[in-house]
Structure 1
C-alpha cells in the first residue's frame, strides 16, 4: 500500500505528459488533414488550368495569340501617343484660357477707367451747362438732367460727331472759345468797376466769380441780387417774419457768440504776451468790455444789452432767455422797418450788418501797471502827465494790438506787414528792442526807418538793414 501511494506522483506526471503528447498528436493530425486538403485543391486547380490550356490549344494556336498580342500592343502604343497629344492640347488650351482671362481682366480694368473718365467728363459737362444758364444751355441742361447726356452733347455740337471730324471740330470750337473769351474779358473789364463791391475775379478756368458773394458765378449773383431786391420790395407776412427771426436766433446768434469768444480768446493771448514783455518799466494790459450804458438810438443797441445771452450756446438758453433775445431781435427789425418807411432807399442788408456788428458793442481800454505800482486805466488826462516815451508806448500798444486783430481775419499765409517812418523816436534801444520782439511774437513783418532800429536779436529770425547817407547840399 505504501509503495502504491509513493508511485502516485510519478504516475500523475506520466499521465500529464501522455495527455500533452496526445493533444499534440491530435493537433498535428488536424494540420496534416489541412495540408492534405490544400494539396488536393492545388492539384485540382492545376488540373483545371491544364484542361483550360488544352482547350485553348485546341481552338487556337500560338501564332494567332502572338498576332493578337502584337495588335494589342500597337493599339496600346497608339493610345499612349493619343493620350500625350491630348495632354499637350489640354496644356495649350489651358494657356490660352489663362491668356484670355488676363486679357479679360485688363479689359475690365480699362472699362472701369473708361467709365470713371466718362462719369468725370459728364459731370464736368453738366457743371459747365449750369454755370451760364442762357436759353440754349438751359434746354440742354433739361435734356442732360433726364439722363441723356450724350444726346445733350450731340445737340450742342449740332449733330453726331464723326471720328474723322474731331480734330477739325476741336479747332473750330477753340477758335470760337477764344473769340467768346475776348468778348467776355472786354465786358468784364468794362463792368468791373460797377461790380467792385462783389469782388469780381477770374478762376483758373477763366470763369467769372464774385469772391465777396461766396464765389458765385454771374447767374448765381444775378439770382442773389434778384432775391435781395424782392426782399426789399416785398413785405413778409407775420409767419414769414417769425421764421426769419427764428433763423436769426439760431444762425446769426451762434455766429456772434463764436466771434465774441474768439475775440476774448485773442485778448487773453495778447495780454499773455504783454505780461511777459515789460516796456519802459511798465506792463500793459488790454480789456474789452461793453459801455456802462448803451445809446439806444444806435442800431444794434437792443441786442448789445443782451450780449451775455449771446455768449451762451442757443441750445442751453432757457425759454425766458430765448424770449428776451427774440424780443431784442424784434425791436431791431422794427427799427429797420421804421427807417425804411422814412427812407425807402435804405439798403436792408447793410442795415442788418450794422445791427449785428458786435464790434460796436464793446470798447477797448488800455491799462498800465508800473513795476511795483498801481494798475491805472490809460486816459487822455493820464497820458498827458507821462513822458514822451511813455506816451509813445501808450500809442503803440493799442495800435499794434488793433493791427494784429485785423490781420487775424486774413487768409492763412497772408503777409502781416506794417511800415513806420522815424519809428520809436526818442525811445531807448532796449525798449525799441522789446517792441520789435513783441512784433515778432505777433508774426508781423515790417519796413521801418529810424536811427535806433536794429534787427540784432535772437528772437528776430531775419532782418535786413540799410544805411542811407544824405550829403549836404544835395537835392
Structure 2
C-alpha cells in the first residue's frame, strides 16, 4: 500500500488439529516417492482410523460421502493474513487489527487476498483460459492512490477486470489499456446515454464519432424483438438503467 504496509496471505495448518493430524499433514507435504514404509504405514493407519470412526458415528450416511468428508483437505488448513510494517515488523491481521486501519487501507487489504486467490485459481486452469474478474461497485471506499495500487496488482497477476462503479476510472500509469463507458442519466428525457473512452496508458481518448467502438469490434446495432417472437439472430442487448 502507499502507506508502506504490506498484506501477506498464508496457507497454514488449522489450530484445532491434534498432534497426529499435524504429523500426517507434514508427511503429505513430502515427496511421495521418498516416503518409506514407516511413513506410509502412519498415513494409512491414520486415515483408516478416521474412516472407521466416521462410519461408526454416521452408519446411515453413504460411504462415498463419508470418505469425501474425511479426505477434505480444506478442513486441515486455513488462510491466515499478516500485516507487515516498513522496517520488518509483522503481526497477524485479525478482525480487531483490521478495524484499526484507515478506511482506504481496510478496503485495499480486503482486495489483495481476493486478487491473490483469483490468481491461484486461474493458475490451475489451462493456459488459454480467460483470467476475468467481475467486480460490482468496484473499489468502493478506496481512494485514487489505492485504486491505482490495486489495478497495478491486477496487472501483476495478469487479471482482466470487468468493473462497474460510481466515478470509477482506470486512468493510472500502471494500467496499459482500458475501455470505459461513462453513463449519463437524463431524468427529463428518461434515457441513459453512454460515451466510450479508451485509456491507452497515458491519454484518455473520447469516442465521439464511433471510430473507437468500430475498432473494438462493436456491431453498432440494436434490435428490438419482433412482434411474432424473438429474432434468434439478434445480438444480446444490455439495457442499463439508474435510479439516480
State the TM-score bracket (shorter-chain normalisation).
0.5 to 0.7
Residue 125 of structure 2 aligns to a residue in which SS? coil
Q: Distance in 2 between matches of 1:320 and 1:303?
A: 16
Q: 2:177 pairs with 462, 465, 470, which one? A: 462
> Quick check: 1:334 aligned with 2:49?
no
Aligned residue pairs total 189
> Quick check: 1:453 aligned with 2:169?
yes
* Alignment CA distance shift 1:348-1:462 (3 Å): farther
Q: Based on CA coordinates, which of the two structures has the bigger radius of gyration? A: 1
Map of 1:324 onto structure 2: 42
After TM superposition, the score normalised by the length of structure 2 is 0.67
Q: Aligned-residue CA RMSD in angstroms?
A: 2.5
Deviation of 1:435 (Å): 0.6
Deviation of 1:302 (Å): 6.2
Structure 1 segments unaligned to the other structure (5+ residues): 1-277
CA offsets per residue over residues 95-117 of structure 1, 9 Å max, x none? xxxxxxxxxxxxxxxxxxxxxxx
* Alignment CA distance shift 1:335-1:392 (3 Å): same
Greater RCO (CA < 8 Å, at least 6 residues apart): 2
Residue 443 of structure 1 aligns to a residue in which SS? coil
Q: 1:292 pairs with 5, 15, 19, which one? A: 15
Residue 127 of structure 2 aligns to a residue in which SS? coil
Q: 1:309 pairs with 27, 33, 41, which one? A: 27
Residue 468 of structure 1 aligns to a residue in which SS? strand
Q: 1:371 pairs with 70, 81, 86, which one? A: 86
Deviation of 1:355 (Å): 2.2
Q: Distance in 1 between matches of 2:175 and 2:83?
A: 26
After TM superposition, the score normalised by the length of structure 1 is 0.36
Map of 1:419 onto structure 2: 134
* Alignment CA distance shift 1:285-1:361 (3 Å): same
Residue 182 of structure 2 aligns to a residue in which SS? coil
Kindly indicate whether the alpha-carbon contact (under 8 Å) linking 1:336 and 1:348 is maintained by their aligned counterparts in 2: no
Q: Distance in 2 between matches of 1:356 and 1:422?
A: 38
* Structure with more helix by fraction: 1
Q: Distance in 1 between matches of 2:87 and 2:20?
A: 42
* Structure with more strand by fraction: 2
Q: Distance in 2 between matches of 1:400 and 1:314?
A: 31
Residue 423 of structure 1 aligns to a residue in which SS? coil
